[in-house]
Chains A and B, each alone.
Chain A
């Protein structure tokens, strides 16, 4: 009997996953469409937009945000949130820039990247520790660690700034380098996107994340190791923020105590605009990347049209509200007929058509 229940559950969840997949694909396609339209219009009307340097600049800036946003998306997918990523980016930007200068030779980059990932993951584990051991809601725990990590960042910086000339050559040149004509930043973003997408779609970890985000109580009964997964998602998010910090150093050249302070809300905005549900369980890594790309492109176009740099924040805010509203409306529209079909397929005898036919047969 229990075997029968299990099979039914598996069938149900796979059907549901299919549906969620369709929804995600639809919002992704819509987003890609929007990005393509903006790109085409901007290319046609703005001569500054179609220069190679501008496109490179746009993609590089977006790559940094996108990588951190992917980490944030994983956390949000599991119905948690991390408000401390900006501070993690800032600390890692400084420490990696400074420490990797001590390692020379061919291992420099390897050590630097490992350092960034490790430091970031350690900070992420700090967040998870508060959530798991102190039983704090993630929003409060990461609010607290945002204060603590920001304080640490200021202490570490000690009033000084890190300049591009002080960091190793490989790091300083990271942004300008290109493999096969495509910038290093873009490569890193693509690798992160592919890796996280694979983890989310093809591994037990990924399935657990969606289960946790969709229904935490049910996930526990399914045997999801909720504490382990919490450690893992925050560590992953922190590690990607650390990687973002490494790129930050290369991108902006000078790292001061306020580095990354505005990024918390930007990456959450990117994830939300991309279609990652703040209620957890819906969205993909690609959503976060597309959201980052859309926000980055809007910002770039605004800068180029010189409407006003002050309009930027207003439009970004409006974009978030509109995106959330559109997803809510669309997902409700999509859910309604699906629910009815699913119900009828389970209870074919209750199908109005079947009842009518049966009634007709009985009458006849």
Chain B
């Protein structure tokens, strides 16, 4: 019973309810939201975002941040595209590209952990550096022809269905990440490190190793996102995918991962990404242009992150007020009011207003 209660009251359940609301309202207003074509397009447009979000989620869970994911995406995508354009086989090109993304992540991890530098500043710097290298490789050019295997990875459907192959790939990645984060020792140590680095260190967790691996995973999944980008949009150009950074981090935070680290779930991140995708699609169908959708994402973030604390403080305020009313009703005098004013500073104001009323 307690388990059921916890599940119903969980963050993820709230997101699911929001998503259902979006679907119901969206479907009622425009009837195309749940059409297979629209779902397919929406899913394909958001696989890259989800892939990046899955990578950066463990980093944020440990209390760090990785802004360089879009730089890594661009660099590995451009390298893959460039190699393929010069006749390298797709397999080799992809291997090299993914290896580069691993190295990018490792560099971040080493800089942040071994030199003990703020992750925000380091990854801000490496974001510029990685994006810049992708500019150095391709200049202002764009590569638009790719082997059919890459294209079909990014934009074809699973045989016999209407489910895009890329979506399956990302969902498999999500399942693997969920296993790693929620069912392994490494995953448990993520939350320990995010909760308190010192406590984690004292309880024998290899804090440095855990933090570095999160950056490596983040880099690697950014590389995978680069590959999906090539397949989906069939373009490789410097700085590609740059607009995906803030939406990806938004999905992670909306998914219930605390920006200070220590909490969050992978299913939450997946549901948040789906919610964002549905919301944008519904708004788009209703004729809202890009800016309306962007603003909606911002408001959603504020409601999701800001509403619970606001609700809590409103509840506390109400309880205090009621307690004060009871106190006054039961013959509380000026002294008792003065007493409560001095002991709890914030409630003092409420006491006075009640007394005036």
User: Contact flags (1/0) for B233-260 with A, using CB distance below 8 Å?
Assistant: 0000010000000100110010000011
Which residues of A are found within 8 Å of B302, using beta-carbon distances?
130, 134, 136, 141, 144
Tell yes or no: A195 within 8 A of B by CB: no
Q: Do B301 and A143 touch (CB < 8 A)?
A: yes
Tell yes or no: B294 within 8 A of A by CB: yes
- Which A residue sits closest to B118, measured CB to CB? A278
- Looking at chain B's contact residues, is the secondary structure mostly helix, strand, loop, or mixed? helix
Contact stretch, chosen from B1-9, B133-141, B154-162, B222-230: B133-141
Closest CB-CB distance, B180 to chain A, in whole Å? 25
CA distance A315 to B307 in the complex (A): 41
Which residues of B are found within 8 Å of A140, using beta-carbon distances?
253, 259, 301, 305
Q: Which residue from A146, A153, A317 sits with its C-beta under 8 Å from B128?
A: A317
Chain B interface residue number, banded: 35 or more
Query: Which A residues from 133 to 167 make CB contacts under 8 A with B?
Result: 133-137, 139-141, 143-148, 150-155
Chain A interface residue number, banded: 35 or more
Tell yes or no: A279 within 8 A of B by CB: yes
Which residues of B are found within 8 Å of A318, using beta-carbon distances?
125, 128-129
Q: Do A310 and B132 touch (CB < 8 A)?
A: yes
Q: Do A324 and B121 touch (CB < 8 A)?
A: yes
Would you list the 9 A-B pairs with minimal beta carbon distance, nearest first?
Answer: A317-B128, A134-B306, A314-B132, A147-B298, A151-B295, A320-B125, A317-B129, A313-B132, A154-B291
Tell yes or no: A268 within 8 A of B by CB: yes
Tell yes or no: A319 within 8 A of B by CB: yes
Q: Which residue from A144, A153, A154 sits with its C-beta under 8 Å from B298?
A: A144
Q: Residues of B with Cβ closer than 8 Å to A?
A: 65, 71, 111, 115-118, 120-122, 124-133, 135-136, 139, 238, 246, 249-250, 253, 259-260, 289-292, 294-295, 297-299, 301-302, 305-307, 309-310, 313
Closest CB-CB distance, A283 to chain B, in whole Å? 12
Question: Which of A152, A268, A317 is the most central at the interface, judged by chain B CB atoms within 10 Å of its CB?
Answer: A317
Which residues of A are found within 8 Å of B133, using beta-carbon distances?
314
Which residues of B are found within 8 Å of A146, using beta-carbon distances?
246, 298
Closest CB-CB distance, A80 to chain B, in whole Å? 12
Closest CB-CB distance, A127 to chain B, in whole Å? 11
Q: Which residue from A136, A137, A316, A321 sits with its C-beta under 8 Å from B122?
A: A321
Tell yes or no: A65 within 8 A of B by CB: no
Question: Which of B125, B133, B253 is the most central at the interface, judged by chain A CB atoms within 10 Å of its CB?
Answer: B125
User: Contact flags (1/0) for A257-272 with B, using CB distance below 8 Å?
Assistant: 1000000010011001
Q: Do A151 and B298 touch (CB < 8 A)?
A: yes
Q: Do A151 and B136 touch (CB < 8 A)?
A: no
CA distance A312 to B253 in the complex (A): 32
CA distance A139 to B253 in the complex (A): 11
Which residues of A are found within 8 Å of B260, using beta-carbon distances?
137
11 further A-B contacts with Cβ under 8 Å, apart from A134-B302, A154-B291, A317-B132, are: A136-B309, A146-B246, A147-B246, A147-B295, A148-B298, A150-B295, A310-B136, A311-B135, A312-B132, A313-B128, A324-B125
A-B contact pairs, 7 of them (CB 8 A): A133-B306, A147-B298, A308-B139, A313-B135, A314-B129, A317-B129, A320-B125
